[in-house]
Amino acid sequence: MSFVIDAALVGTGGMMPLPNRWLSSVLLRYAGHLILFDCGEGTQISLRSLGWGIKDIDLILISHVHGDHVTGLPGLLLTQGNSGRTEPLQIVGPAGLRQVVSGLLSVARSLPFAVECRELTAADGERVGLEELSVTWVEAEHHVECLAYRLDLPRGPRFLPEQARQLGVAIQDWKRLQRGEIVSGVRPSDVLGPPRRGLSIGLVTDTRPTEAIARLVWDVDLLVCEATFGSDEDQPRAVERKHMTFREAAQLAKDARARQLVLTHFSPALVEPEAYLGNAAEVFPETIVGRDHLTLSLRFPEE
């Protein structure tokens, strides 16, 4: 198990890519895998500058199928193909995803790897994830079907060596106990501490704040959330266009008791997002105004 997730903002813009701001997208790195959240036009270029790799993106989470969140898919997949990728790629998103991906991939009919495209529903019983990392989601509130995501990396209980010694388990058998096996009558639970908090990330964009989203991202270590409008005066516009202001994103983070909030998906009209930090920080002090290529690492705390 890897004990760290790195997150990078591939871009922080909404609606259209700008010369100095890529479209909003998040790249997560975990245990040799890369997971991408949304893929607007130009995402592969920003990914190349970022330098974490492109070929090894194994899972793509799509919030919704508006152009600024998906039109980078064909170029990204063609570039993965040109890099020699052969492993299947999983793309998940809301209802309607398959048709749009199929349309976009009309220019990429002969990729050297399989693309598994899956439309997620509330009733979906199948697991989405990679190794220990699991993905859950709820419906967001936008003009089209849109999903908010949560990623969880669970943490096993601590192994208690003193306990194992006292119970007479040989050191070479400790690994078996840690894997869940019973060794000479000693059960794993006899040598393991209490459950421990894992790592979690919320990915929320193109939506109004909702209770369902607040429940989904409850207590996450990192909430990357859209904040299309900086000024409080734009709140009516945020309602109309089904986005959020900085203050509303901060309130969502507060309601969800998130540990840290990173704002993204800024309107092209929002030239200096940083100038509006105060509107969010008043409500939720642990707010960072995102910028392209901002990176954060989540690590299990020393215990």
Pick out residues in 217-276 that bind a copy of itself (CB under 8 A): none
Q: Tell whether residue 106 is a contact of a copy of itself (CB under 8 A).
A: yes
The residue (of 19 and 301) whose beta carbon lies closer to a copy of itself is 19
For the chain, how long is the longest CA-to-CA vector? 68
Binding footprint of a copy of itself, residue count (CB under 8 A)? 34
Q: Which stretch binds a copy of itself (CB under 8 A): 78-86, 118-126, 185-193, 199-207?
A: 78-86
- Active-site hit among 6, 38, 58, 68: 68
**CB-side neighbour CA atoms (13 Å) of 206:** 25
Handedness of CA 258, 260, 265, 270 (dihedral sign): positive
Q: Tell whether residue 111 is a contact of a copy of itself (CB under 8 A).
A: no
Question: Which of 72, 93, 230, 273 lies at the binding interface for a copy of itself (CB under 8 A)?
Answer: 72
Q: Do residues 81 and 113 make contact, with C-beta atoms less than 8 angstroms apart?
A: yes
The residue (of 92 and 97) whose beta carbon lies closer to a copy of itself is 97
Picking from 223, 218, 189, the residue whose alpha carbon sits closest to that of residue 205 is: 223
Question: Which of 1, 4, 49, 131 lies at the binding interface for a copy of itself (CB under 8 A)?
Answer: 49
Question: Which of 70, 191, 270, 280 lies at the binding interface for a copy of itself (CB under 8 A)?
Answer: 70
Q: Which stretch binds a copy of itself (CB under 8 A): 1-9, 25-33, 77-85, 169-177?
A: 77-85
The 173-212 site mask, x for binding a copy of itself (CB under 8 A), equals ----------------------------------------
Q: Which two tokens stand for residue 22?
A: 């890529």
Q: Is 58 a catalytic residue?
A: no
The residue (of 70 and 253) whose beta carbon lies closer to a copy of itself is 70
Question: Which of 10, 15, 177, 199 lies at the binding interface for a copy of itself (CB under 8 A)?
Answer: 15
Q: How far is the CB of 220 from a copy of itself (least distance, A)?
A: 29
Q: Which residues are catalytic?
A: 68
Applying CB under 8 A, the residues found at the interface with a copy of itself are 15-19, 40-42, 44-46, 48-49, 65-68, 70-72, 74-75, 78-79, 82, 99-100, 102-108
